[in-house]
Amino acid sequence: MTHRETSEEQDAIASLRCFIDAGSYAPGDRLPSEREMIAKVGLRRITLRKALDALEREGAIWRHVGKGTFVAQPSNTDSVGVIAMLKQKMTPVRMVQARLCIEPSLAREAAIHASREAIARINFAKDSAKAAANWADYEAQDDAFHRAVAEASDNTLLLLLFDQLNHVRRAVADNEVVRGSNRPPCEHSSFAEHESVAQAIEARDPAAAQNAMRAHIGSVSERLFGQD
């Protein structure tokens, strides 16, 4: 299930794209602060952040806590073709295997390098996922949790690899998951699994963080696809 933008969000995304194009920002350039963009683009803070989230999901920008928002390589026919090719060749099981190669290691690095601010972002996303009123909100916060862990590794290259992996994951998993309820149940296993990952990172326990993330991804695979 993917987030569906409202007309206001779609207008904001278009305005933000125009702002980036008009400013002749090249890949790797840092965008102005949110305060500056609010003034220049004329958007409310919450609307701007949703537009930034959408562009980040598309791979048009990437963000690093404490450093800012940066322009990524522009989307082009080649990248679209690569995603389409991967969608045909990758299965959910293969996607899980790729995640198991990367995300547990990111959790391990996060336990070593995470700042207090990064840990706060992990906990905020974890709690927001648990409080989600529907599956779309849960999935957005689940994405935010996993990206917060990747950010906490404090390694720009690893974060870029995670973003590429996540972009392909969305393409591969699209329409694969069928939900039997309107929102995650209170006993949804990911809540406790997220808690275990977050606690291990906050405790500065690299091995426990790595194992907790591996167990979480395996559990998600088993629950959604019947694979481990």
Map out the domains of the chain with their CATH numbers.
Answer: 7-71 (1.10.10.10), 77-225 (1.20.120.530)
* Most confident region among 115-119, 146-150, 208-212 by mean pLDDT: 208-212
Rounded mean pLDDT of 56-78? 74
Please, which residues bridge with residue 62 across strands?
70
| CA 220/CA 99 separation, integer angstroms | 11
Per this entry, what is the length of the chain? 228
For 71-111, what is each residue's pLDDT tens digit? 886 554 455 556 666 666 778 888 889 999 999 999 999 99
pTM higher than 0.85 for the full model?
A: no
User: pLDDT band at 118, cuts 50/70/90?
Assistant: very high
Q: What is the pLDDT of residue 74?
A: 57
Q: What is the pLDDT of residue 228?
A: 43
Residue in the structure block whose two tokens are 């794209």: 17
Q: What is the pLDDT of residue 14?
A: 85
Q: What is the pLDDT of residue 196?
A: 98
For 198-223, what is each residue's pLDDT tens digit? 999 999 999 999 999 999 999 988 87
Alpha-carbon separation of residue 151 from 51, 54, 57, 110 (angstroms):
20, 18, 15, 8
Task: Classify 64 as helix, strand or coil.
Answer: strand
Rounded mean pLDDT of 152-176? 80
Rounded mean pLDDT of 35-46? 88
Closest CA to 149 of 115, 181, 122: 122
| CA 31/CA 38 separation, integer angstroms | 12
